[in-house]
Structure 1
Amino acid sequence: MRPPKPSDAPSRSPFSRWFHPILAGARLSDRLLACAGALVAIALTGLLCGMLFGEGSHLPLIVAPMGASAVLLFAVPASPLAQPWSIIGGNTISALMGVVAASLIHDPIIATGVGVSLAIAAMSFTRCLHPPGGAAALTAVLGGPVVASWGMLFPFVPVALNSCLLVAIGLLFHKLSRHNYPHVVAAPANTHLTADPPSSQRAGFVDEDIDAALATFNETFDIDRADLGRILRQAELEAIARSNAEIRCADIMSRDVVTVDVDATVEQARWLLLNHNVRTLPVLDQNRKLVGTVGLRELAVASGTVERLASEATTARADDVALELLSVLTNGRTHAVIIVDDDQKILGLISQTDLLSAVARSLPKAGVRPGAAA
């Protein structure tokens, strides 16, 4: 598998410019997928509620705020405001605040303001801030006799029921579409099981720097701090690769690569690793094409052939920018990137040592200012 690159991004269609300014990272395909998800989710939620209540029920089968919740759930599933607890808790608690305001305040204008205000406060304290919750509070106040007749039951049926069904359908939809939902940012782990932070976080900015920067703006941003840190660190790596684009993989790769056949025994593979003092062995099939890699970790206590032990290889092309491999070769898991051609034939290999040497050569020489004339 190749590490992600800006050049791997799909080319923009003529219509994508209408979507690009709205949200960072959004693509036209994501918007079309969001449309499909909202269509399925809203229709199924209404259908299931209709089956539960019966068509003759005077209770609304689905409340209006679910449409706004669907926008967040399917268009921006990474938003903290679109997570399951935000949708279920935010809508339910806000509807409850609206019912309370309507029961205590008889002036509908004042009740709507108080209901939305209480909804924001309650969602903030319960960590389930969800913009459609404001609409849920308004619906509880202005819903008329139908909503009023249900009283304190309204926040739970249909609001909580609608929200739970919507989230359940969203979970299944995002799983099928391979989106990370609920959105969880995996904390970088030290793969050596020691107390040290991972190597990618030992230099540069730290979480406290992000907090300090956010404090200077005095604004609230709809992004998790962990996501923000991950984006900034990747931006650093992209800037390094861009400023050293003249160094290509072909310039630094090892060309005499030690490989192992797919039907070789574990003992043979282990001997190759130790004899050549390498950490990764590309595994080749009968046509000399790459099928994966093995390392000493897989071979330490195994037996038989290497075929069943081979894991997916991280690959790149000879003309790729070498420093684009920084992120993958510093993740604590990958020790080498295999350079292949279009037919998956091996052209070379770049190890962590190869990349470190390239980085060292790219550093400004002592006593010479970057950009100064020779």
Structure 2
Amino acid sequence: MSNILLTHSRSPAGSGNPLTLGAIVLLVLGAAFIGFAHGALLAALFIVGAALGVTLYHAAFGFTGAWRAFIVNGRGEGLRAQMLMLAVGVILFFPVLDAGQLFGAPVRGYVSPVGLSVIAGSFMFGLGMQLGGGCASGTLFTVGGGNARMVITLLFFCVGSVLGTVNFDWWTSLPHMAPISLVDRFGAGGAMALSLLLFALVAAITVRVERDRHGSLEKEKVPDHHGMQRVLRGPWPVMIGGVLLALLNFLTLALAGKPWGITSAFALWGAKGAMLFGVDPTQWFYWQQPANAHALASPVLADVTSVMDIGIILGAMIAAMFAGRFAPNLRIPLRSVLAAAIGGILLGYGARIAYGCNIGAYFGGVVSGSVHGWLWLVFAFLGNMLGVKLRPFFFKQPPAGITKTA
């Protein structure tokens, strides 16, 4: 279930399209440049990012659209796909995180404090999802897919992210509990059993709600393509997309030593942009932390998250070209532009103070056994509920019973 309507028009599909060939060449050259400049490991993560972009696009794996479909219409396939993704994730992650190493290299999860900053930030992020038209991963793959409006969301996402670093120390000083790891508390087996039970409970609730409202579960539409054509041009089943995202996240853990993340790069891009206008982010607490200070002082392409984000955009672009759907449309209603700007700022600011987004905090946090990931899910969902209520002011609404993907 996609976050955004990519375009109504189509471009020539397939590998014979010069734009497709150009994008593939750009991917290869980008990997080669990153490899020579910053090492083979970063080049490999760039390719993993591209694979994530292809998967997100072809499976139309959305968080924003999936949550809105459940809130508005009681359709839960997207949420069930998320639960499957998380289930595969904890099965892969928990034993490795419990051991503290993978293939002899140290690994760590995203385990963050549980407190008011997570509650406020995740609620802001959830609200921003519905106004901005996407989450963190959704913004990247729809930008790569050719959605011009989402470029605006991405720009203000970066603005909001850097604003979130200005008073990050104040937010983190609010009442909170120390990080809680289910893996540390219950061991890999106990944490896995508890998590799988919760995933099954959420999935069961979506099934009950959907059957109560519609009498049956929504069936997958008959695809236009089959066999290798479907592999190259999509669409892929959303459940397959969830499994692939979990596997690619685990590959990220193996290569980078940490789970997949997205929005720390947006804060970095925003801070570097602010420096061009004479602003000195190094005076802020967030950028005085060793890892963040190092990232700010280094080239963007030396940053793991930035490299993977760029890879996601390029991978989604290649997927859109193979599907024949890469055709940016610059005719964007003014209210939609306003929603993208407001939503982008909320997304960026919320992600910083909540220790991450739908990928770093929700996906990465839950598969790391962090309680803050579950807290993020609850309050981001509540933010989505408010965002759904506010959408009619900004967007022309579809007829009753239809969930528009924009």
TM-score range, shorter chain: under 0.3
The higher relative CO (CA closer than 8 Å, separation ≥ 6) is in: 2
Computing the radius of gyration from Cα coordinates, the structure with the larger value is 1
Q: How does the TM-score come out when normalised to structure 1?
A: 0.25
Structure with greater strand share of residues: 1
